[in-house]
Structure 1
Amino acid sequence: MHFKKSLDLLLVHCQGELGHVLMGGAPEIPGETMLDKMNHINTVDDSLRRFVTFEPRAHVAQSVNLIVAPTRDDADAGFIVLQADRAHPMSGSNCICVVTALLESGRVAMREPETMVRLDTPAGLIVARARCKGGRCLSVSLDNVPSFAELLDHQIETPWGRIKVDVAFGGVYYALVDADRIGLAIAPENARALAEAGIALKRLLADQVTVRHPTLIGVDEIAYVMFRHREPDGAVRTCTTLPPGRVDRSPCGTGSSANLATLFARNELSVGDGRISRSIIGGEFLVEAIGETQVGGRGAVLPRITGRGYVYGRSELRCALDDPFGAGFALSDTWGPQVDLLLSPGV
Structure 2
Amino acid sequence: MSRQTEFTKSINVVTTEMHTAGDPVRIAVSGYPDIIGDTILDKRRYVREHLDHLRRLLIQEPRGHKDMYGVIPVKSDIKEADMAVLFMDSEDYAFMCGHCTIALGKYAVDHGIVKGVSPETTVKIQCPCGLVTAHVEYQDGKSGTVRFESVPCFSFAADLIVNLEGYGDIHYDISFGGCFYAYTDITQFGLDIKSSPIADIITAAMKLKRAITETVTLAHPENNELAFLFGVMFYSGSLGNCSEEVCVYADGQVCRNPCGSGCCGLLAVLYHKGLIKEGEVKTFVNSKTQSSFNGKIVKQIKLKNTLAVIAEISGKAYYTGECTFFCEQDDPQPSFLVQ
TM-score normalised according to structure 2 size? 0.90
| 1:92 matches 2:92 | no
Displacement after TM superposition at 1:247 (Å): 1.9
Note the residue ranges of structure 1 that are not aligned, 5 or more in a row. 332-338, 340-347
**1:40-83 Cα shifts (integer Å, max 9, x gaps):** 33456522222221122211121011111221111111111101
Note the residue ranges of structure 2 that are not aligned, 5 or more in a row. 1-7
Distance of 2:303 and 2:240 partners within structure 1: 32
| 1:79 matches 2:85 | yes
Distance of 1:97 and 1:86 partners within structure 2: 20
1:163 pairs with 143, 148, 170, which one? 170
1:291 pairs with 261, 277, 299, which one? 299
Cα pair 1:195 1:242 within 8 Å, conserved: no
1:111-190 equivalences in 2 (<5 Å): 111-158=117-164, 159-187=166-194, 190=197
Q: Residues 54 and 146 from structure 1, CA distance in 2 versus in 1: closer, same or farther, beyond 3 angstroms?
A: same
**1:300-328 Cα shifts (integer Å, max 9, x gaps):** 111011111111111111244544333x2
**1:135-177 Cα shifts (integer Å, max 9, x gaps):** 4332001000110011101111113101111011000000111
Distance of 1:45 and 1:215 partners within structure 2: 27
Question: Secondary structure in 2 aligned to 1:71?
Answer: coil
Distance of 1:232 and 1:295 partners within structure 2: 25
Distance of 2:115 and 2:10 partners within structure 1: 26
Cα pair 1:235 1:275 within 8 Å, conserved: no
1:251-270 equivalences in 2 (<5 Å): 251-270=258-277
Cα pair 1:214 1:296 within 8 Å, conserved: yes
Question: Secondary structure in 2 aligned to 1:140?
Answer: strand
1:18 pairs with 24, 31, 34, which one? 24
What residue identity is the alignment partner of 1:266?
K
Question: Secondary structure in 2 aligned to 1:87?
Answer: coil
Distance of 1:177 and 1:231 partners within structure 2: 10
Q: Residues 251 and 38 from structure 1, CA distance in 2 versus in 1: closer, same or farther, beyond 3 angstroms?
A: same
Distance of 1:208 and 1:235 partners within structure 2: 27
| 1:277 matches 2:278 | no
TM-score normalised according to structure 1 size? 0.88
Displacement after TM superposition at 1:187 (Å): 1.6
The residue number in structure 2 matching 1:58 is 64
What residue identity is the alignment partner of 1:295?
L
What residue identity is the alignment partner of 1:198?
A
Displacement after TM superposition at 1:287 (Å): 0.7
Distance of 1:233 and 1:207 partners within structure 2: 28
Distance of 1:313 and 1:216 partners within structure 2: 37
The residue number in structure 1 matching 2:4 is none
Question: Secondary structure in 1 aligned to 2:101?
Answer: helix
Q: Residues 319 and 101 from structure 1, CA distance in 2 versus in 1: closer, same or farther, beyond 3 angstroms?
A: farther
2:54 pairs with 48, 51, 57, which one? 48
What residue identity is the alignment partner of 2:228?
E
Distance of 1:244 and 1:3 partners within structure 2: 31
The residue number in structure 1 matching 2:315 is 307
What residue identity is the alignment partner of 1:52?
L
Cα pair 1:103 1:110 within 8 Å, conserved: yes
Cα pair 2:124 2:133 within 8 Å, conserved: yes
